[in-house]
Amino acid sequence: MVREVTATGTTRAAADRALRVKLAERSTPRESAITPSTTLAKLAQTWIQHLHDERRLENTTINEYQRVLDNIVVPEIGGLKLSEVTTGRLDSFILRLRQVSVNRQRKTKVVLGAMFGLAVRHDALVVNPVHQTSKVHRERQEVRTLTVEDLEMVRRALRAWEEEHRPGPRATSDMADIIDVMLGSGARIGEVLALRRYVDAAPMRHRRGSTPSSRPATTRGNRSPTSSGAGVRSVPTLAWTGSLPTRSARRSRP
């Protein structure tokens, strides 16, 4: 026996949405942990636990997703049920975040898209409502090349800072070494701070494959290399930068 399902709404689009919700409720297995009646706050908890169980992402990445949920998503829309979520509602929410920052808007959309993807896989939603929301537009920034004059200005400022008399331990030249290694290797600040060891003598090469990280309520350390083999690599550097990481490490020893 086939039972007819009907739904009403103030407009045709609203009636279509109500009908899809009813169909989803009828087709969703009751033993599923995620249903159309699940709140976004509960979905967020289930999704984070799913990421931990999956063990595919770094803990630092999952912690960042958790911060987005705790500080942005749950306070604003955590009380909504999946059956109450529409693309238009999410689009308005995501667009409002741009007033704070484009980065916050982008991170929130990424988190929501993955979170609702889990709901689709559990048959709590027919489609992912995030997929048709407005694209996040990042304004093109002008690329400015560092000049010799800029470099000299930075080094003068560093020397003045190192020679300044103030209470506490005397300043070291670590900051100057960091800048020199960045210039000599082309590495980013995070890669320089996590530089582990010097590899070859000729030509000068350094091994890169991790970045610093901090974990809540734990000690700081280096993130593991990327999942692909290309994440760890040796790169050529200028000869005068070869001894800088070793020199800095010796200064840091007690």
The string of pLDDT tens digits covering residues 34-85 is: 999 999 999 999 999 999 999 898 898 999 999 999 999 999 999 999 999 9
For residues 89 and 40, state if they share a domain: yes
From the CB of residue 59, how many other CB atoms can be counted at a distance below 10 Å?
Answer: 16
16 inside domain: yes
The domain that holds 56 is classified in CATH as 1.10.150.130
User: pLDDT value at position 75?
Assistant: 96
β-strand 205-208 against 198-200: which pairing, if any?
Answer: antiparallel
pLDDT of 92 > 80? The answer is: yes
| Paired tokens of 126 | 């027919």
Mean pLDDT of 243-252: 53
153 inside domain: yes
99 inside domain: yes
139 inside domain: no
User: pLDDT value at position 128?
Assistant: 96
Which structural domain range is residue 40 located in? 12-121
User: pLDDT value at position 88?
Assistant: 94
Q: Where are the beta strands (DSSP E) in the chain?
A: 198-200, 205-208, 212-213, 221-222, 233-236
Strand order in the sheet with 198-200: 198-200, 205-208, 233-236
Mean pLDDT of 243-248: 54
For residues 100 and 157, state if they share a domain: no
For residues 22 and 68, state if they share a domain: yes
Give the rounded percent of residues in the chain with a pLDDT score beyond 90: 37
Query: Residues 239, 206: contact at Cβ < 8 Å?
Result: no
For residues 30 and 108, state if they share a domain: yes
133 inside domain: no
Q: How confident is the model at residue 26 (pLDDT cuts 50, 70, 90)?
A: low
Give the rounded percent of residues in the chain with a pLDDT score beyond 70: 71
For residues 73 and 113, state if they share a domain: yes
Taking alpha carbons only, the member of 27, 65, 25 closest to residue 46 is 65
Q: Tell me the torsion sign for CA atoms 50, 52, 57, 61.
A: positive
Planar angle of CA 81, 82, 86, nearest 5 degrees: 110
For residues 55 and 94, state if they share a domain: yes
Mean pLDDT of 79-107: 94
Mean pLDDT for the chain overall: 78
Scan for tokens 């992912």, then name that residue.
128
Query: Residues 46, 33: contact at Cβ < 8 Å?
Result: yes
pLDDT tens digits for range 109-136: 999 999 999 999 999 999 999 999 999 8
Mean pLDDT of 205-212: 49
For residues 115 and 17, state if they share a domain: yes
Q: How confident is the model at residue 219 (pLDDT cuts 50, 70, 90)?
A: very low
For residues 243 and 204, state if they share a domain: yes
